[in-house]
Amino acid sequence: MPKAHLTQAFVANAGCEVGKKKTDWYDTHISGFILECRISGTATFSLRYIDASGRQRQYKIGGVNDVTCAAARKKAQELRSEVVMGGDPGAKKALAKSIPTYGELAEKHLAFAKLHLKSYHDLESCMRIHIIPKWGKTRLTDITSQSVGQWLNEKRVGGLAPASVEKMRVILGRSFVLGASWDIPGTERNPTRGIPRKPLNNGRERFLTPEETARLKAAVAASQNSQLQHIVGLLLLTGARLRELLDAKWENVDVERRSWFIPTSKTGKSRHVPLSTPALAIIEKLPRFKGCPWLVPNVETRLPLVSIKHSWQHAIKEAKLPGLRLHDLRHSAASNMVNSGVDLFAVGKVLGHASYQSTQRYSHLANDTLLKAVEAGAAKQAAF
């Protein structure tokens, strides 16, 4: 067991003893601090110690090309003090290595979401674009509330919509909740808890005027996506959500009863959507493909369309309706019903709102309709 005072000068000239492939040089000042020299020319600083069970353990500090002798000595002294106090730095290091990265947790989260979540594609996109690039290689115990809060704030300052930033916070937090339910090490503390959230105002209301509707219909009719005009027309007439229509099947459309059955929706409940005469006219014109169950499929693959974003963006540009969202067609359908005198309860039923509060955003339109009624009555009174 060769011994020496391990200094930078000694390390620079140290090597294996004659005839040996490896030599361990024990420091004369710090018990267990060693320099392992190999015949290949590499050398490593380590600390050897006896753990509580009486077994000899070794903690690698670092190679001589990566850490100076002074830094290695300081680390060895810290580790030695931990051992004397009853600690086990090797076990602690092994435990730290056993903590998975967020990327590993994200894989499990995505696999779970694919089976149980309807909005899987939104979740996958948010993870892939924002969350995994930032946290994918970080061990779960190294993700702190402070670092997450700072990251979310940078996203806000960078121009990301408040709702998008909140979605990122929710998804990251959900990963830790799922991980804790699966007993994954490092998920006991959720770093998203305690982060202050700014109130969101997502109550944007955009209703198409008759003139705007005409421009939009002309633009989608000229689209290279032959299904776009049918999709837009049905969304305007039914108030359905886009995904509900893209996943609709012929078997759920009852032309005689003028009803479209939606088995499940965003709220998790099924509903029947009444079909107006114009809506039925569009359905009658829809192309049918042998063996294809979908109402408005991709005409090439005969499968449900994943997205119509590209053709939609081109259409609203041609119609000179910048910023118009597909979801705004749902608002327009609701506003047309309310302005025609339909009460809010019935509108909520058609749209499939889970609560009356969701329909309340259209209450001012209902008031406008009632105002027209009283004005008409007042005009009649004035005529006498």
CATH (domain of 77) = 3.30.160.390
In the prediction, which pLDDT does 191 show?
Answer: 96
Q: Please indicate, yes or no, whether residues 283 and 353 belong to a single structural domain of this protein.
A: yes
Beta strands, E only, the chain: 3-4, 22-27, 33-38, 43-50, 56-63, 253-254, 259-262, 271-274
Q: What is the pLDDT of residues 292-316, one digit of tens each?
A: 999 999 999 999 998 999 999 999 9
In the prediction, which pLDDT does 346 show?
Answer: 81
Write the CB contacts of 44 (distance below 8 Å, at least 6 apart in sequence): 35, 36, 60, 61, 62, 63, 64
Q: Please indicate, yes or no, whether residues 225 and 329 belong to a single structural domain of this protein.
A: yes
Specify which residues 46 forms β-bridges with.
Answer: 34, 60
Which of 83, 98, 113 is the C-terminal boundary of a domain? 98
Cα–Cα distance, 257 to 259 (Å, whole number): 5
Q: Which two tokens stand for residue 60?
A: 């690698």
Smallest CA-to-CA distance from 44 within 3, 16, 79 is with 16
Smallest CA-to-CA distance from 362 within 337, 335, 330, 332 is with 335
Is this structure's pTM higher than 0.85?
A: no
Q: Please indicate, yes or no, whether residues 301 and 331 belong to a single structural domain of this protein.
A: yes
Q: What DSSP letter does each residue of 166-230 carry, written as one string?
A: HHHHHHHHHHHHHHHHTT-TT-SS-TTTT---PPP---------HHHHHHHHHHHHT-SSTTHHH
Whether residue 190 lies inside any domain: the answer is no
Which of 37, 71, 98 is the C-terminal boundary of a domain? 98
Whether residue 381 lies inside any domain: the answer is no
Smallest CA-to-CA distance from 354 within 270, 239, 234 is with 270
Give the count of beta carbons closer than 10 Å to the beta carbon of residue 335. Answer: 19
Residues spanned by the domain of 355: 210-375
Name the DSSP letter for residue 2: -
Radius of gyration of the chain, Cα coordinates, nearest whole angstrom = 33
345-357 in b/e burial notation, b at 16+ Cβ within 10 A? eebbbbbbbeeee
- Would residue 96 be called left, alpha or beta, if left means φ above 0 and alpha means ψ between -120 and 50 degrees? alpha
Cα–Cα distance, 44 to 37 (Å, whole number): 7
Whether residue 199 lies inside any domain: the answer is no
Q: Which two tokens stand for residue 379?
A: 């005009």
Q: Please indicate, yes or no, whether residues 140 and 12 belong to a single structural domain of this protein.
A: no
Whether residue 197 lies inside any domain: the answer is no
136 exposure class (CB count in 10 Å sphere: 0-12, 13-18, 19+) = middle
Q: Please indicate, yes or no, whether residues 232 and 309 belong to a single structural domain of this protein.
A: yes
Query: For 188, how many CA atoms within 13 A lie in the half-sphere containing its CB?
Result: 4
| Digitized pLDDT (tens) for each residue of the chain, 384 residues in all | 799 999 999 999 998 888 899 999 999 999 999 999 999 999 999 999 998 888 899 999 999 999 999 999 999 999 999 998 888 887 777 766 778 999 999 999 999 999 988 778 889 999 999 999 999 999 999 999 999 999 999 999 998 888 889 999 999 999 999 999 999 999 999 999 988 876 655 555 688 889 999 999 999 999 999 999 999 999 999 989 899 999 999 999 999 999 999 988 766 678 899 999 999 999 999 999 999 999 999 999 999 998 999 999 999 999 999 999 998 998 888 888 877 777 778 878 888 776 666 666 676 665 665 566 556 666 655 555
Write the CB contacts of 114 (distance below 8 Å, at least 6 apart in sequence): 120
Q: Which two tokens stand for residue 341?
A: 């005198």
What is the greatest pairwise CA distance in the chain?
124
Q: Which two tokens stand for residue 255?
A: 């032309």
Tell me the CATH number at 241: 1.10.443.10
219 close to 176: Cβ distance less than 8 angstroms: no
Whether residue 192 lies inside any domain: the answer is no
Name the DSSP letter for residue 60: E
Q: Please indicate, yes or no, whether residues 322 and 346 belong to a single structural domain of this protein.
A: yes
Q: Please indicate, yes or no, whether residues 339 and 353 belong to a single structural domain of this protein.
A: yes
Name the DSSP letter for residue 23: E
